[in-house]
Amino acid sequence: MFKTITLFTKVFLPLGVFVVTVGPVGGQTDVSTSPQAALTAYDTDKDGTIDEDEAKVAAGALFDKLDADKDGTLDEKELQGHLTTAQFREADPDNDKTLTKDEYLVFVVKAFRTANRDADGTIDARELQTPAGRRFLILLQ
């Protein structure tokens, strides 16, 4: 019994804590914000939808928040959980391994247009529930 407890406390318990605290690496964060909560947060004109300008304002604010070193660019580490490696490469047209705010916003607008399935220039709660809508929300949070 003593050996079992020692094994548990010295091997399994630390590994369990490690697994729980580390979580997924390099992937996108889980979007736990409901469509209604997202609309409340980003729909500044309160028309029940997010338009492209509202998306750019929210994404620009996130960019500024994530720019920890305040150099005006985001590298892959600063964007971890918001962009996959493939998305980062796609958003980095000059391949300098950083994104300017303009490059980030171009990528956000592309994601916005993909999520805007009915092409009406706005994203509503229904569109936010789609896979493209959830991927779009990650870029704002």
Strands 122-123 and 98-100, sheet pairing: unpaired
Instruction: List alpha helices for 23-129, DSSP H.
Output: 35-42, 52-66, 85-91, 101-115, 125-128
Architecture of domain 25-138: Orthogonal Bundle (1.10)
For residue 33, what pLDDT is reported?
78
Query: For 54-77, how does the pLDDT look when each residue is reduced to its tens digit (9 = 90+)?
Result: 999 999 999 999 998 999 999 999
For residue 1, what pLDDT is reported?
52
- pTM for the complete prediction? 0.77
Structural contact between residues 136 and 115, judged by C-beta atoms closer than 8 angstroms: yes
Query: For 71-97, how does the pLDDT look when each residue is reduced to its tens digit (9 = 90+)?
Result: 999 999 999 999 999 999 999 999 999
Write the Ramachandran bin of 48: left for phi over 0, alpha for psi from -120 to 50, otherwise beta. Answer: left
Mean pLDDT across the chain: 84
More confidently predicted of 32 and 23:
32
What are the residue boundaries of the structural domains of the chain, listed by start?
25-138
